[in-house]
């Protein structure tokens, strides 16, 4: 799971163009939105598209607990693991 978490951190940085952020700067359990990394709803859309493209997962905006799945890298890794197709 740690390898996937690092991969997701790199995906976040690359897909959102976070130039001054390294994977080490992103704590696996810290919030990605709001007071944490500071991502917003536009970032969520871009991140969702990147996840769909890289991992072949379908993200339905009506999915129960979708906000929770995107709350941290740890939750995102669990979501990707349970939904990835490739």
Which residues lie closer than 8 Å to 61 by C-beta, 6 or more apart?
none
pLDDT at 86: 57
pLDDT at 80: 95
pLDDT at 85: 74
Domains of the chain: 2-83 (1.10.1200.10)
pTM score of the predicted model: 0.91
Element (H, E) at 30: none
Tens of pLDDT, residue by residue over 13-65, are: 999 999 999 999 999 999 999 888 999 999 999 999 999 999 999 888 787 78
pLDDT surpassing 80 at residue 73: yes
pLDDT at 6: 97
């Amino acid at each position: 799971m740690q390898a996937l978490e690092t991969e997701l951190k790199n995906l976040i940085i690359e897909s959102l163009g976070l130039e001054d952020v390294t994977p080490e700067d992103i704590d696996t359990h810290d919030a990605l939105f709001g007071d944490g990394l500071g991502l917003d709803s536009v970032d969520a859309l871009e991140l969702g598209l990147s996840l769909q493209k890289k991992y072949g997962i379908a993200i339905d905006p009506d999915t129960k607990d979708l906000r929770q799945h995107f709350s941290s890298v740890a939750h995102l890794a669990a979501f990707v693991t349970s939904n990835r197709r490739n």
